[in-house]
Copies of this chain bind each other. A is one copy, B any other.
Amino acid sequence: MILVLKEELNDDQKTQLEKHLEDFSFFTYLKFDDRYLAIAPDKNIKTKIDFLRLPFVKEVIETDHPYPLASHTLKKEASVVQVGDLQIGGPKLTVMAGPCSIETQAQLEAVAKTIMKTKTDVFRAGAFKPRSSPYTFQGLGKDGLTLLKNIKQKYKIPIISEIIAPEQIEEFDDIIDILQIGARNMQNYHLLKALAKSGKPVLLKRNPANTIDEWLMSAEYLLAGGNENVILCERGSKTFDPKLPIAFNTNIIKTIKENTHLPLIVDPSHATGDSSLVEQIALSAVIAGADGVLIEVHPRPELAVTDARQVLSCESFVSLTDKLQIVSELSGRRFR
């Protein structure tokens, strides 16, 4: 059940609302798409008609949609997330690129030059790396952020980087423009709630073993916490065939768009694990309607500390952007 409110409520008004709830149930108050809302699960509400009698309630929407904010329940049109001057989800294709892990200033510089040459929109690089093995490189951490800060200042480009704990929000704050939630933390609600409060743009990756519904319920945590700057990122699905550890399913894009208004970026690098397939996935994603792509680029792929098998060289990335331009125009989307 969603109550559309005439105004932001004071504590007395909240108390009036909540007396209608069952034990252990509660209202979530938030502003969404310029409206004040109070949301509670339907099943817990004792008396629905009473809400309409309250002077501060404008409308009652009865719904049991599991993710009313992320879905089209309250918002039909596509959302655009603003990052500085950049609009993600609008008529222009968004291109994000950079190395998987921050290694050295020289490495970041080499990629940044390519990035600028191709008019790429966002620079990506990871300082904190969630790795399958505890014995492998876990990222440069805070030192990596310092290296990233230099890139940001020199090239005036927005930066995206993965965040793995609430206490990092502060140190990311003046350097990182988009906070990335990795696949493994997709259902780390403790982290999601903290990023919701931060209000900063968040890119939420789908875990390759989770369904669209599970993913959008994680996005709902961000929206319900008051953060509308949510960007989705599709990075492939697990399969049942041991020869195919990861699949990029082109059909998913239309289904995602049917289920949410949030902008969608595709990560071809993780959707394959094989650099020779990155280009074809990126092109397919744009043909299928993705709002952007997020590509791993390294000046010397063979020496990359992480993701060496899937990262593109700077030359391959330049060549890819040329083809992306052709394909995005065929698909009715501006490239630059």
Contact = CB atoms under 8 A, between A and B. Distances in A.
Interface in A212-253: 212-214, 217, 220-221, 224-225, 236-244, 246-252
A213 B209 CA distance: 14
Given A132-B214, A250-B280, A280-B288, A24 B244 contact: no
A333 to B, nearest CB: 13
The quantity of this chain's copies bound in the complex is: 4
Interface residues of A, number: 76
A243 B187 CA distance: 19
A209 B206 CA distance: 13
A195 to B, nearest CB: 13
B243 A251 contact: no
B212 A190 contact: no
Contacts of A10: none
Given A23-B305, A217-B133, A284-B288, A237 B247 contact: yes
Interface stretch (A54-62, A88-96, A145-153, A269-277): A269-277
A310 to B, nearest CB: 12
Given A41-B135, A135-B28, A214-B132, A250 B277 contact: yes
A224 B134 contact: yes
Contacts of A250: 248, 250, 277, 280-281, 284
B276 A221 contact: no
Max count, chain B CB within 10 A of own CB: residue among A164, A255, A280, A330: A280
Nearest to A69: B134
Interface string A111-148: 00000000000000000001111111100000000000
Contacts of A240: 209, 211, 237-240
A276 to B, nearest CB: 7
Contacts of A248: 249-251
A43 to B, nearest CB: 9
16 contacts: A28-B135, A41-B135, A130-B187, A132-B217, A134-B189, A135-B224, A184-B187, A184-B188, A209-B238, A211-B240, A212-B244, A242-B242, A243-B255, A251-B271, A283-B284, A284-B287
